[in-house]
Chain A
Amino acid sequence: MSLIEGLNKIFDNRIRLGIMSALMVNEEVNFNELKELLDITDGNLASHLKSLEESGSIKVQKGFIGRKTNTTYSVTKAGEKAFKAHIAALEQMIKSTK
């Protein structure tokens, strides 16, 4: 099945898909904004971010706003490429079975 080749295992999850979608259209997004967007708990979001980071799809910048930590995330070049390929594979999947 050549169709499945483009589909990336790391994006095989709604939450990780959501995180990547948000990062693709924004230069950077912080933890709380992602949490609001996806409507999930801190722990759940953190674990998905971790796995995306470990796969090299996203990068993390830790900073401060006043005394509060502000952790922002952005997509890496490799992540952007992989995500685009994933979308193309999804589209191919729909077209080929029509």
Chain B
Amino acid sequence: MIYEFNSFTLYFKVLFMSEQQQSLEDLQHIKKMMERSSRFISLSGLSGIAAGICALIGAWFAWNRLHRTQSETYDLVRIITTNGAEILDELFWIATYTFIGAFISAFFFTYLRSRKDRVPMFGKTTMRLLWNVVIPMAVGGIFLIRMMYNGEFELVAPGCLIFYGLALVNGSKYTLGEIRYLGYGMLALGIMNLFYVGYGLYFWAMGFGILHIAYGITMWMKYERNSN
């Protein structure tokens, strides 16, 4: 009799447990489907690391170029104004190659991950993410180029950090949400840089280099290490 009673309650416990398990799995499924259909979640942490390394290499080249001028000052703005347009041209190309290198390497790792996740690389979610990142970046880019034409170089480095930070915060709604914190980091550095004009290259290397790498490592550890 007692035995019968026990097996009866056990039966209900098992029934209830599996129902609970089922509910949990259903909720996880809902979350996954909502994310996959509205966010581009295949952004790889390795992309951040690669972009960061490119930025540091670019900053190193720029730093070397500035030091070859043998100016007594570290103040970028004063070096440019005393050394004229030639150095500006070279710095511009270093920046351009750095951007292209960072973009291609970042694209590469994210492409690999999207294939592994079997998420289309150019689906609706990717386009939505790109569009929302491009708007602040393109507007910022035009603004900064226009400023340089006016001979204003002081605020270019902080400007890059600030507009990029805004782009990341804006884009965070359409990809892994953590990228918002990378955006806040860029914004903080950009704003600090506004008050230490002339040290733009260091802030730039810190933001585009170190922050990217730190973010990339964190994201890789969190999402990708275990799935390999």
Distance in Å from the Cβ of A75 to the closest Cβ of chain B? 12
Does B178 belong to the interface (CB within 8 Å)? no
Q: What CA separation (Å) do A36 and B27 show in the bound complex?
A: 21
Size bracket of the B interface: 20 to 34
Does A21 belong to the interface (CB within 8 Å)? yes
Q: What CA separation (Å) do A25 and B36 show in the bound complex?
A: 10
Q: In the bound complex, do residue B37 and residue A90 qualify as a contact, i.e. CB atoms below 8 Å apart?
A: no
What is the number of contacts between chain A and chain B, taking CB atoms within 8 Å?
54
Q: In the bound complex, do residue B37 and residue A22 qualify as a contact, i.e. CB atoms below 8 Å apart?
A: yes
| Contacting residues of chain A (7-23) with chain B, CB-CB under 8 angstroms | 14, 17-18, 20-22
Q: What CA separation (Å) do A4 and B48 show in the bound complex?
A: 46
Q: In the bound complex, do residue B16 and residue A97 qualify as a contact, i.e. CB atoms below 8 Å apart?
A: yes
Contact of A93 among B19, B34, B37, B120 (CB under 8 A): B19
Q: What CA separation (Å) do A33 and B37 show in the bound complex?
A: 8
Size bracket of the A interface: 20 to 34
| Contacting residues of chain B (78-130) with chain A, CB-CB under 8 angstroms | 118, 120, 123-124
Q: In the bound complex, do residue A90 and residue B27 qualify as a contact, i.e. CB atoms below 8 Å apart?
A: yes
Given A33-B123, A93-B19, A97-B20, A25:B34 Cβ within 8 A = yes
Q: What CA separation (Å) do A26 and B29 show in the bound complex?
A: 17
- CB contacts (< 8 Å) of A20 on chain B: these are 30
Q: Considering the complex, give the chain B residue whose CB is closest to the CB of A34.
A: B37
Does A91 belong to the interface (CB within 8 Å)? yes
- Determine the main DSSP class of B at the interface with A: helix
Q: What CA separation (Å) do A18 and B118 show in the bound complex?
A: 16
Q: In the bound complex, do residue A36 and residue B120 qualify as a contact, i.e. CB atoms below 8 Å apart?
A: yes
Does B26 belong to the interface (CB within 8 Å)? yes
Does A94 belong to the interface (CB within 8 Å)? yes
Given A24-B34, A37-B36, A93:B123 Cβ within 8 A = no
Distance in Å from the Cβ of A48 to the closest Cβ of chain B? 13
Q: In the bound complex, do residue A25 and residue B30 qualify as a contact, i.e. CB atoms below 8 Å apart?
A: no
- CB contacts (< 8 Å) of B120 on chain A: these are 36
Distance in Å from the Cβ of A20 to the closest Cβ of chain B? 8
Q: What CA separation (Å) do A18 and B16 show in the bound complex?
A: 24
| Contacting residues of chain B (7-27) with chain A, CB-CB under 8 angstroms | 16-17, 19-20, 23-24, 26-27
- CB contacts (< 8 Å) of B23 on chain A: these are 90-91, 93-94
Q: What CA separation (Å) do A58 and B23 show in the bound complex?
A: 23
Enumerate 16 A-B pairs (CB-CB under 8 Å) in ascending A order. A17-B29, A17-B30, A21-B29, A22-B37, A22-B38, A33-B37, A33-B123, A37-B33, A37-B37, A38-B33, A87-B30, A90-B23, A93-B23, A94-B24, A97-B16, A97-B17
Pick the 7 closest A-B CB pairs, nearest first.
A21-B33, A22-B37, A93-B23, A25-B38, A18-B33, A90-B23, A21-B30
